[in-house]
Structure 1
């Protein structure tokens, strides 16, 4: 086992949070959308041409952290920072890792969906050993499992060094492979007594600073909020396919409550109507160099702009805390970005 369990825990750890949510804890799996690099071994040395800091200095800027605040829950601490206490496990765990992919990574230093699933299952088993089968199963069923993958699969296969397609994949084939693996992961979690799952779609990669910088001589104009639509079409294809599979899973799996959250729709709405949401710059990274801040990534937070809240994008591919705050509020309550989570919001989970 990867750590020693405390023999005793307080009953308070099993009580629901003081917020209005019925969820007792949150477990997070994902990529740089859920991890600043703290949970990624050797990340500072393996950043390649991505930003060194995928968030503005703290994981408090990340979407699942902000969502936990709405649910009245403590933020799930990183898997690699667990101190061995049962209380730590009951508070939730973040298995996410920057640059994690759905597909098995080319580099052994990067994590995959399957690796994080193994860590999650090991945690479930430890809870069962410590709490007993019945109590642990009840706890897991009342917990939320948050999945946010896919962005780095598309970045690695389609966007690294060029915006052209990999010779081994077309958009539909890749989307099918990725969605099938995500569907398998959801079913596997269900078999481990997980009943509440929220799945994030991929954000509009075609609107990100890195892609705009790479495509500045083709599709991107001098004004407006133009995006690389060819890239966005690939993302939309994946999102639609994933949501369709989730609709089917909600029918097939008894007592399952699986939510798809369309962050693509939410961010496109912000980019289209920036003034309505308090943003001034929808193209340029707050932290980066070159046109759109897309040439050199955020190798130091000291590079960051003065007015972070005015920007939609923090770095190459990641939104700012201001955007994540709007998304978190909408995922929780359905406003101000309406209907981005389907079929229900997190607040409506039983």
Structure 2
């Protein structure tokens, strides 16, 4: 009998040790994460936009998500918002429009303090970037929503407690690609602006929105640069399946201006801290050295039809690749979950080749 009791106690001890060890490994590293951006981090806001044509609601989106169903994420599985939250020991921040929907608005357990995702597929820094797709939530409107949320929180929470919470939270901003796509899709924009003038204007507009966030409590920013968008399957079709160099050059110009702007913003706001992630360099690495990261296909979309599987959208009748793990691109524009994981790993604790002036892990420690 004593031996049975001892075995049971030993089992309980081991179980508790494993439970607490796992809990420690997944310990929350920041109070919350507030996400702003485009389809790379939209976790379902566009599903609440009745007129929007930009929705990831059809199979095969979500085929590798835990539910195996479309969730509004433009991915085969989890996207960057999910994977960053995992790194931080947090649940994915819910879409803002789900929290203020008629179903949830009056529920007492809805909390903005747990983190919120404001991102919207098709969104740009400029209003009107998504004219070809109709309805998205541009960055200005996303920050408007945050400001409204902040006003409600100030009515519900003591000022010092709220500011402490927000100052320790992460504000992730993943946007800019659609503004560059918009430039190449608009003869009018090209006539009125040189590429340099345009990216200067885009960065200047972003600066205004970041300052608005700072004025409403944000202190720690994770800013994601624009990737080599000319290498996405859709734009490769413009250049006989090779990367569309004009778009990549513009991405580089924008990223340079963006980094200069962030330094200026820091000079004006001394207690602001940020980590910039060079998605351009990270994607270039994957494309140039795919085998070292476990990838085999750097050009084709996993889900689509036609040349590069990218002449048509990802729909239920699309051809879908068997092994999503070895493809960098999921559809015409978006990375697979596997590719996104490599980016988030570098973003979180990568070297200065990818992150500046610090990485996210170092940002959390401030």
- Shorter-chain TM range is 0.7 to 0.9
Q: CA distance change for structure 1 residues 42 and 20 in 2, over 3 Å: closer, same or farther?
A: closer
**Which residue does 2:283 correspond to in 1?**
267
Q: Following TM superposition, by how much is the alpha carbon of 1:288 offset from its aligned partner in structure 2, in angstroms?
A: 1.0
Q: Which residue of 2 aligns with 1:78?
A: 95
Unaligned runs of 5+ in 1: 1-16, 221-225
Q: Per-residue deviation at 1:304? A: 2.5
Shift of 1:251: 2.8
User: Contact (CA 8 Å) 2:276, 2:359: kept in 1 or not?
Assistant: no
CA distance in 1, matches of 2:49, 2:326: 32
Kept after mapping to 2: 8 A contact 1:29/1:95? yes
**1:236-277, CA deviations, whole angstroms, 9 ceiling, x for partnerless residues?**
100111011112222331211112111111011110000000
Structure with greater contact order relative to length (CA < 8 Å, sep ≥ 6):
1
Q: Match of 2:46, SS?
A: coil
Indicate how the Cα distance of structure 1 residues 242 and 137 shifts in structure 2: closer, same or farther if over 3 A, else same. Answer: same
Aligned counterpart, 2:124:
101
User: What is the alpha-carbon distance in structure 2 between the residues aligned to residue 317 and residue 55 of structure 1?
Assistant: 13
1:132 aligned residue: 158
User: Which runs of no fewer than 5 residues in structure 2 stay unpaired?
Assistant: 1-23, 63-69
| 2:305–2:318 contact (8 Å) kept in structure 1 | no
Distance change (3 Å), C-alpha of 1:181 and 1:40: farther
Q: CA deviation at 1:80?
A: 1.1
For the residue of structure 2 that corresponds to 1:117, the secondary structure is helix
Change (3 A) 1:314 1:344: same
Cα distance in 1, alignment partners of residues 245 and 197 from structure 2? 19
Kept in 1: contact 2:43–2:95 (CA 8 A):
no
For 1:167, which of 179, 184, 191 is the aligned residue?
191
Change (3 A) 1:175 1:52: farther
Equivalents in 2 of 1:295, 1:55: separation in Å? 17
Match of 1:284 in 2: 300
Q: 2:216 maps to which residue?
A: 192
Q: Which residue of 2 aligns with 1:346?
A: 360
- In terms of Rg, which structure is larger? 2
SS in 1 for 2:119: coil
Displacement after TM superposition at 1:45 (Å): 5.3
Contact 1:21 1:347 in 2 (8 A): no
Query: For 2:34, what is the secondary structure of its paired residue?
Result: strand
Between the two proteins, the alignment pairs up a number of residues equal to 321
> Are 1:25 and 2:32 matched, yes or no?
yes
Report SS of the residue matched to 2:111.
helix
Question: Does structure 2 retain, via aligned residues, the 8 Å contact 1:20–1:72?
Answer: yes
Q: CA RMSD in A?
A: 2.7
Asked whether the equivalents of residues 37 and 43 of structure 1 are also in contact (C-alpha less than 8 Å), the reply is no
